[in-house]
Protein backbone atom coordinates (compact mmCIF):
# COMPACT_ATOMS: atom_id res chain seq x y z
CA UNK A 1 0.00 0.00 0.00
CA UNK A 2 1.47 3.40 -0.96
CA UNK A 3 1.60 5.96 1.82
CA UNK A 4 -0.95 8.80 1.61
CA UNK A 5 0.69 12.09 0.51
CA UNK A 6 1.25 14.30 3.58
CA UNK A 7 -0.76 17.26 2.21
CA UNK A 8 -3.79 15.03 1.62
CA UNK A 9 -3.55 13.52 5.09
CA UNK A 10 -3.35 17.03 6.62
CA UNK A 11 -6.62 17.98 4.92
CA UNK A 12 -8.23 14.71 5.98
CA UNK A 13 -7.25 15.17 9.63
CA UNK A 14 -8.41 18.79 9.53
CA UNK A 15 -11.66 17.55 7.96
CA UNK A 16 -12.15 15.27 10.96
CA UNK A 17 -11.53 18.21 13.30
CA UNK A 18 -14.03 20.37 11.38
CA UNK A 19 -16.73 17.71 11.65
CA UNK A 20 -15.96 17.23 15.35
CA UNK A 21 -16.43 20.98 15.95
CA UNK A 22 -20.05 20.64 14.73
CA UNK A 23 -20.82 18.80 17.96
CA UNK A 24 -21.16 22.05 19.92
CA UNK A 25 -22.12 24.37 17.08
CA UNK A 26 -24.73 26.83 18.31
CA UNK A 27 -24.09 25.85 21.94
CA UNK A 28 -21.03 27.97 22.75
CA UNK A 29 -22.58 31.45 22.97
CA UNK A 30 -20.54 34.22 21.40
CA UNK A 31 -17.55 31.91 21.32
CA UNK A 32 -17.17 29.75 18.20
CA UNK A 33 -17.27 25.97 18.47
CA UNK A 34 -13.65 25.06 17.70
CA UNK A 35 -12.04 21.65 17.75
CA UNK A 36 -8.50 20.46 18.27
CA UNK A 37 -7.28 17.00 17.33
CA UNK A 38 -3.87 15.76 18.48
CA UNK A 39 -2.19 13.19 16.26
CA UNK A 40 0.77 10.96 16.92
CA UNK A 41 2.33 11.04 13.45
CA UNK A 42 5.49 9.24 14.49
CA UNK A 43 3.64 5.95 14.07
CA UNK A 44 2.29 4.50 10.83
CA UNK A 45 -0.55 4.95 10.26
CA UNK A 46 -0.83 8.08 12.42
CA UNK A 47 -3.26 7.83 15.33
CA UNK A 48 -5.45 10.27 17.19
CA UNK A 49 -4.28 10.63 20.78
CA UNK A 50 -6.49 13.51 21.87
CA UNK A 51 -9.49 15.55 20.82
CA UNK A 52 -11.27 18.52 22.34
CA UNK A 53 -14.15 20.77 21.33
CA UNK A 54 -14.99 24.16 22.88
CA UNK A 55 -17.09 23.37 25.96
CA UNK A 56 -20.80 24.17 26.19
CA UNK A 57 -21.20 27.86 26.92
CA UNK A 58 -17.81 28.63 25.32
CA UNK A 59 -15.18 27.70 27.90
CA UNK A 60 -12.81 25.94 28.37
CA UNK A 61 -11.48 26.24 24.84
CA UNK A 62 -10.78 23.22 22.64
CA UNK A 63 -6.98 22.98 22.93
CA UNK A 64 -6.58 22.60 26.73
CA UNK A 65 -9.40 20.03 26.69
CA UNK A 66 -7.62 17.99 23.99
CA UNK A 67 -4.38 18.15 25.97
CA UNK A 68 -6.01 17.35 29.31
CA UNK A 69 -7.87 14.32 27.97
CA UNK A 70 -5.08 13.00 25.72
CA UNK A 71 -4.70 9.23 25.86
CA UNK A 72 -0.90 9.48 25.56
CA UNK A 73 1.75 12.08 26.32
CA UNK A 74 1.10 14.85 23.75
CA UNK A 75 4.78 15.88 23.58
CA UNK A 76 5.89 15.72 19.95
CA UNK A 77 2.31 15.40 18.68
CA UNK A 78 0.78 17.34 15.77
CA UNK A 79 -2.25 19.55 16.49
CA UNK A 80 -5.07 20.24 14.02
CA UNK A 81 -7.09 23.23 15.21
CA UNK A 82 -10.07 24.59 13.24
CA UNK A 83 -9.42 28.21 14.33
CA UNK A 84 -6.18 30.03 15.10
CA UNK A 85 -5.38 29.26 18.77
CA UNK A 86 -6.07 32.22 21.01
CA UNK A 87 -3.27 34.46 22.26
CA UNK A 88 -5.08 36.46 24.93
CA UNK A 89 -5.55 36.10 28.64
CA UNK A 90 -9.34 36.03 28.81
CA UNK A 91 -11.29 33.96 31.25
CA UNK A 92 -8.82 31.20 30.35
CA UNK A 93 -5.05 31.43 29.58
CA UNK A 94 -3.94 31.58 25.91
CA UNK A 95 -4.42 28.32 24.03
CA UNK A 96 -1.30 28.97 21.95
CA UNK A 97 0.66 28.85 25.23
CA UNK A 98 -1.11 25.61 26.23
CA UNK A 99 0.06 24.00 22.97
CA UNK A 100 3.61 25.28 23.53
CA UNK A 101 3.69 24.05 27.15
CA UNK A 102 2.36 20.64 26.09
CA UNK A 103 5.36 20.25 23.75
CA UNK A 104 3.31 20.10 20.54
CA UNK A 105 5.66 19.73 17.60
CA UNK A 106 3.63 21.14 14.71
CA UNK A 107 0.31 22.98 14.36
CA UNK A 108 -2.13 23.07 11.46
CA UNK A 109 -4.93 25.62 11.57
CA UNK A 110 -7.84 26.30 9.25
CA UNK A 111 -9.22 29.81 9.79
CA UNK A 112 -7.41 32.93 11.03
CA UNK A 113 -9.27 34.34 14.07
CA UNK A 114 -10.65 37.84 13.33
CA UNK A 115 -10.86 38.62 17.08
CA UNK A 116 -8.53 41.60 17.52
CA UNK A 117 -6.98 40.03 20.64
CA UNK A 118 -5.93 36.99 18.63
CA UNK A 119 -5.69 37.75 14.90
CA UNK A 120 -2.23 36.67 13.77
CA UNK A 121 -0.90 36.76 17.31
CA UNK A 122 -1.79 33.13 18.06
CA UNK A 123 0.18 31.95 15.04
CA UNK A 124 3.07 34.31 15.89
CA UNK A 125 3.29 32.99 19.47
CA UNK A 126 3.56 29.42 18.22
CA UNK A 127 6.22 30.32 15.63
CA UNK A 128 8.24 32.29 18.17
CA UNK A 129 8.33 29.15 20.29
CA UNK A 130 9.85 27.29 17.32
CA UNK A 131 6.71 25.43 16.29
CA UNK A 132 6.09 24.99 12.57
CA UNK A 133 2.63 26.35 11.72
CA UNK A 134 0.61 25.79 8.53
CA UNK A 135 -2.45 27.98 8.07
CA UNK A 136 -5.67 27.83 6.00
CA UNK A 137 -5.85 24.04 5.80
CA UNK A 138 -9.29 23.05 4.38
CA UNK A 139 -10.48 26.62 5.05
CA UNK A 140 -13.42 26.40 2.61
CA UNK A 141 -14.67 23.31 4.38
CA UNK A 142 -14.33 24.93 7.81
CA UNK A 143 -15.98 28.20 6.81
CA UNK A 144 -19.71 27.26 7.03
CA UNK A 145 -19.34 26.05 10.63
CA UNK A 146 -17.62 29.27 11.70
CA UNK A 147 -19.53 31.65 9.39
CA UNK A 148 -21.84 33.07 12.05
CA UNK A 149 -18.92 33.78 14.39
CA UNK A 150 -16.80 35.32 11.60
CA UNK A 151 -19.74 37.44 10.46
CA UNK A 152 -20.45 38.68 13.99
CA UNK A 153 -16.80 39.62 14.52
CA UNK A 154 -16.50 41.46 11.21
CA UNK A 155 -19.94 43.13 10.88
CA UNK A 156 -21.01 43.26 14.54
CA UNK A 157 -24.35 41.70 13.77
CA UNK A 158 -25.99 38.29 13.78
CA UNK A 159 -25.90 36.22 10.61
CA UNK A 160 -29.22 35.66 8.83
CA UNK A 161 -30.42 32.53 7.07
CA UNK A 162 -33.70 33.08 5.26
CA UNK A 163 -35.65 29.87 4.80
CA UNK A 164 -38.52 29.76 2.34
CA UNK A 165 -40.64 26.76 1.36
CA UNK A 166 -42.15 27.38 -2.06
CA UNK A 167 -44.85 25.25 -3.68
CA UNK A 168 -44.54 23.85 -7.18
CA UNK A 169 -46.47 26.90 -8.46
CA UNK A 170 -44.34 29.46 -6.57
CA UNK A 171 -46.42 30.18 -3.44
CA UNK A 172 -45.63 30.18 0.28
CA UNK A 173 -49.19 29.38 1.40
CA UNK A 174 -52.84 30.38 1.21
CA UNK A 175 -54.26 33.32 3.11
CA UNK A 176 -56.44 32.23 6.04
CA UNK A 177 -55.60 28.56 5.57
CA UNK A 178 -53.11 28.28 8.45
CA UNK A 179 -50.17 25.93 8.01
CA UNK A 180 -50.33 23.98 4.79
CA UNK A 181 -47.91 21.31 3.66
CA UNK A 182 -45.56 22.55 0.95
CA UNK A 183 -43.02 19.76 1.28
CA UNK A 184 -43.07 16.21 2.58
CA UNK A 185 -41.60 14.63 5.69
CA UNK A 186 -38.01 14.19 4.46
CA UNK A 187 -37.70 17.87 3.53
CA UNK A 188 -39.34 18.87 6.81
CA UNK A 189 -36.69 16.90 8.70
CA UNK A 190 -34.04 18.93 6.88
CA UNK A 191 -35.73 22.14 7.94
CA UNK A 192 -35.75 20.94 11.54
CA UNK A 193 -32.03 20.24 11.20
CA UNK A 194 -31.64 23.87 10.12
CA UNK A 195 -33.46 24.91 13.29
CA UNK A 196 -31.09 22.78 15.38
CA UNK A 197 -28.08 24.45 13.75
CA UNK A 198 -29.12 28.03 14.46
CA UNK A 199 -29.01 29.98 17.69
CA UNK A 200 -32.42 31.53 17.12
CA UNK A 201 -35.46 31.23 14.90
CA UNK A 202 -37.34 34.40 13.99
CA UNK A 203 -40.89 35.00 12.75
CA UNK A 204 -43.22 37.96 12.49
CA UNK A 205 -46.49 38.30 14.41
CA UNK A 206 -48.45 37.49 11.24
CA UNK A 207 -47.02 33.96 11.24
CA UNK A 208 -47.96 33.54 14.93
CA UNK A 209 -51.53 34.69 14.18
CA UNK A 210 -51.94 32.64 10.98
CA UNK A 211 -50.07 29.43 11.71
CA UNK A 212 -49.68 29.19 15.52
CA UNK A 213 -46.32 27.41 14.98
CA UNK A 214 -44.25 25.62 17.65
CA UNK A 215 -40.90 26.75 16.17
CA UNK A 216 -39.01 23.96 17.90
CA UNK A 217 -36.77 21.15 16.67
CA UNK A 218 -38.73 17.91 16.64
CA UNK A 219 -36.04 15.58 15.29
CA UNK A 220 -35.79 12.55 17.58
CA UNK A 221 -32.77 13.04 19.87
CA UNK A 222 -32.32 16.71 18.92
CA UNK A 223 -35.29 18.15 20.81
CA UNK A 224 -32.80 19.80 23.18
CA UNK A 225 -31.32 21.70 20.23
CA UNK A 226 -34.44 23.82 19.68
CA UNK A 227 -33.34 27.38 18.93
CA UNK A 228 -34.30 30.44 20.93
CA UNK A 229 -37.56 31.82 19.50
CA UNK A 230 -37.68 35.48 18.50
CA UNK A 231 -41.08 36.99 17.69
CA UNK A 232 -41.27 40.38 15.95
CA UNK A 233 -44.47 42.16 16.88
CA UNK A 234 -44.49 45.92 16.30
CA UNK A 235 -48.23 46.30 16.96
CA UNK A 236 -48.89 43.86 19.81
CA UNK A 237 -51.16 41.64 17.74
CA UNK A 238 -49.94 38.12 18.50
CA UNK A 239 -52.37 36.24 20.78
CA UNK A 240 -51.05 35.45 24.24
CA UNK A 241 -52.47 31.93 24.05
CA UNK A 242 -50.27 31.14 21.01
CA UNK A 243 -48.24 27.92 21.33
CA UNK A 244 -44.89 29.79 21.44
CA UNK A 245 -45.96 31.77 24.52
CA UNK A 246 -47.60 28.80 26.24
CA UNK A 247 -44.29 26.93 25.96
CA UNK A 248 -42.04 29.92 26.77
CA UNK A 249 -41.20 28.38 30.15
CA UNK A 250 -39.57 25.45 28.33
CA UNK A 251 -37.90 27.09 25.31
CA UNK A 252 -36.40 30.56 25.60
CA UNK A 253 -38.69 32.98 23.78
CA UNK A 254 -38.07 36.66 23.13
CA UNK A 255 -40.75 39.16 22.19
CA UNK A 256 -39.32 42.03 20.14
CA UNK A 257 -41.54 45.12 20.31
CA UNK A 258 -41.25 48.90 20.71
CA UNK A 259 -40.23 50.12 24.17
CA UNK A 260 -43.73 51.48 24.86
CA UNK A 261 -45.38 48.07 24.62
CA UNK A 262 -48.49 48.09 26.82
CA UNK A 263 -47.54 47.27 30.42
CA UNK A 264 -50.32 44.71 30.87
CA UNK A 265 -49.18 42.80 27.78
CA UNK A 266 -45.58 43.00 28.91
CA UNK A 267 -46.48 41.62 32.35
CA UNK A 268 -48.57 38.84 30.87
CA UNK A 269 -45.67 37.82 28.64
CA UNK A 270 -43.24 37.93 31.56
CA UNK A 271 -45.53 35.68 33.58
CA UNK A 272 -45.48 33.15 30.78
CA UNK A 273 -41.66 33.23 30.88
CA UNK A 274 -41.28 35.24 27.67
CA UNK A 275 -38.48 37.83 27.58
CA UNK A 276 -38.99 41.30 26.19
CA UNK A 277 -36.51 43.06 23.93
CA UNK A 278 -37.25 46.71 23.18
CA UNK A 279 -36.35 47.59 19.60
CA UNK A 280 -35.80 50.67 17.53
CA UNK A 281 -38.44 51.53 14.95
CA UNK A 282 -38.10 53.01 11.47
CA UNK A 283 -41.03 53.94 9.20
CA UNK A 284 -43.43 52.07 11.50
CA UNK A 285 -41.45 48.85 11.22
CA UNK A 286 -38.95 47.17 13.52
CA UNK A 287 -35.44 48.35 12.57
CA UNK A 288 -33.81 45.12 11.45
CA UNK A 289 -30.09 46.08 11.30
CA UNK A 290 -30.18 47.38 14.88
CA UNK A 291 -32.10 44.31 16.00
CA UNK A 292 -29.44 42.04 14.47
CA UNK A 293 -26.77 43.99 16.36
CA UNK A 294 -28.66 43.51 19.62
CA UNK A 295 -29.19 39.81 19.02
CA UNK A 296 -25.51 39.36 18.11
CA UNK A 297 -24.45 41.12 21.31
CA UNK A 298 -26.72 38.75 23.24
CA UNK A 299 -24.79 35.79 21.82
CA UNK A 300 -27.49 34.88 19.30
CA UNK A 301 -25.18 35.10 16.31
CA UNK A 302 -27.06 32.89 13.82
CA UNK A 303 -30.70 33.61 13.08
CA UNK A 304 -33.03 31.48 10.98
CA UNK A 305 -35.81 33.67 9.56
CA UNK A 306 -38.81 31.42 8.89
CA UNK A 307 -41.77 33.64 8.11
CA UNK A 308 -43.74 35.22 6.78
CA UNK A 309 -43.56 36.71 3.33
CA UNK A 310 -43.44 40.36 4.52
CA UNK A 311 -40.56 39.77 6.93
CA UNK A 312 -38.68 37.81 4.27
CA UNK A 313 -39.15 40.68 1.84
CA UNK A 314 -37.87 43.23 4.39
CA UNK A 315 -34.72 41.21 5.06
CA UNK A 316 -34.08 40.84 1.32
CA UNK A 317 -34.76 44.51 0.54
CA UNK A 318 -32.41 45.63 3.29
CA UNK A 319 -29.72 43.27 2.02
CA UNK A 320 -29.52 41.51 5.37
CA UNK A 321 -29.73 37.93 4.12
CA UNK A 322 -26.43 36.04 4.31
CA UNK A 323 -27.80 32.62 3.37
CA UNK A 324 -30.95 31.71 1.54
CA UNK A 325 -32.35 28.20 1.88
CA UNK A 326 -35.04 27.42 -0.63
CA UNK A 327 -37.22 24.33 -0.29
CA UNK A 328 -39.19 23.51 -3.42
CA UNK A 329 -42.24 21.33 -2.96
CA UNK A 330 -43.58 19.17 -5.75
CA UNK A 331 -47.25 20.09 -5.13
CA UNK A 332 -49.22 22.99 -6.63
CA UNK A 333 -51.47 24.71 -4.08
CA UNK A 334 -53.14 27.65 -5.85
CA UNK A 335 -56.30 25.91 -7.01
CA UNK A 336 -58.34 25.86 -3.78
CA UNK A 337 -60.14 29.19 -4.12
CA UNK A 338 -58.14 31.03 -1.42
CA UNK A 339 -55.71 33.86 -2.15
CA UNK A 340 -52.22 32.46 -2.57
CA UNK A 341 -49.23 34.17 -0.90
CA UNK A 342 -46.53 34.88 -3.47
CA UNK A 343 -42.93 34.14 -2.55
CA UNK A 344 -40.38 36.97 -2.80
CA UNK A 345 -37.94 34.41 -4.20
CA UNK A 346 -38.41 31.36 -6.36
CA UNK A 347 -35.90 28.95 -7.87
CA UNK A 348 -36.06 30.87 -11.17
CA UNK A 349 -35.58 34.34 -9.65
CA UNK A 350 -33.00 34.19 -6.89
CA UNK A 351 -31.71 37.76 -6.31
CA UNK A 352 -28.38 38.56 -7.88
CA UNK A 353 -25.41 38.30 -5.56
CA UNK A 354 -26.39 34.87 -4.28
CA UNK A 355 -24.55 31.73 -5.32
CA UNK A 356 -25.86 28.16 -4.87
CA UNK A 357 -23.41 26.14 -2.80
CA UNK A 358 -25.42 23.11 -1.65
CA UNK A 359 -28.28 21.10 -3.08
CA UNK A 360 -30.32 18.10 -1.91
CA UNK A 361 -32.97 16.03 -3.69
CA UNK A 362 -35.47 15.04 -1.00
CA UNK A 363 -37.92 12.38 -2.22
CA UNK A 364 -39.77 14.62 -4.68
CA UNK A 365 -38.87 17.91 -2.96
CA UNK A 366 -35.62 19.84 -3.29
CA UNK A 367 -33.49 22.05 -1.10
CA UNK A 368 -30.91 24.53 -2.38
CA UNK A 369 -28.71 26.74 -0.22
CA UNK A 370 -27.44 30.02 -1.68
CA UNK A 371 -24.71 32.09 -0.10
CA UNK A 372 -24.48 35.87 -0.37
CA UNK A 373 -21.24 36.78 -2.08
CA UNK A 374 -19.95 39.84 -0.27
CA UNK A 375 -16.94 41.79 -1.41
CA UNK A 376 -14.68 41.98 1.60
Q: Is 14 an interacting residue with respect to Zn ion (CB under 5 A)? A: no
Please, which residue, 95 or 125, has the CB nearer to Zn ion?
95
Using CB under 6 A, which of the segments 66-74, 90-98, 255-263, 291-299 binds ligand AOF?
A: 90-98
For ligand AOF, the binding residue among 50, 58, 173, 308 (CB under 6 A) is 58
Nearer to Zn ion, 86 or 305 (CB): 86
Which residues from 35-54 bind ligand AOF, rule CB under 6 A? 54
CB of 116 to Zn ion, least distance (A): 15
Number of residues that bind Zn ion (CB under 5 A): 3
Per-residue string for binding with Zn ion, 246-275, x by CB under 5 A?
A: ------------------------------
Number of amino acids touching ligand AOF (CB under 6 A): 19
Q: How buried is 292 (Cβ within 10 angstroms: 0-12 exposed, 13-18 middle, 19+ buried)?
A: buried
CB-nearer residue toward ligand AOF: 50 or 85: 85
Q: Does 188 bind ligand AOF (CB under 6 A)?
A: no
Shortest Cβ contact with ligand AOF: which residue? Answer: 90
List all residues 6 or more positions away from 265 whose beta carbon is below 8 Å from its beta carbon.
Answer: 236, 240
Query: CB under 5 A: which stretch of 72-80, 88-96, 136-144, 281-289 binds Zn ion?
Result: 88-96
Q: Per rule CB under 6 A, is residue 161 in the interface with ligand AOF?
A: no
Chain residues binding ligand AOF by CB under 6 A are 31-32, 34, 54, 58-59, 61-63, 83, 85-86, 90-92, 95, 113, 115, 118
- Return the active site residues: 63
Amino acid sequence: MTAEPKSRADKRFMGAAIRFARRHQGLTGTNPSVSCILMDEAVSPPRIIGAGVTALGGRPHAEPLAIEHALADPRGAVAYVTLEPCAHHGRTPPCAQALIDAGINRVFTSIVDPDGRVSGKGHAMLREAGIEVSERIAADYAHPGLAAYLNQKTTNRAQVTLKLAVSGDGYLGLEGAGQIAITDQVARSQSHLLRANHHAIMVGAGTICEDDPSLNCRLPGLEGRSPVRVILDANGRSPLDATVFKTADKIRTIMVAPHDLEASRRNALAQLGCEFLACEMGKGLIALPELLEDLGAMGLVSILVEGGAALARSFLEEDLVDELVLFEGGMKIASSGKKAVASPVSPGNVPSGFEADYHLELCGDRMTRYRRIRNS
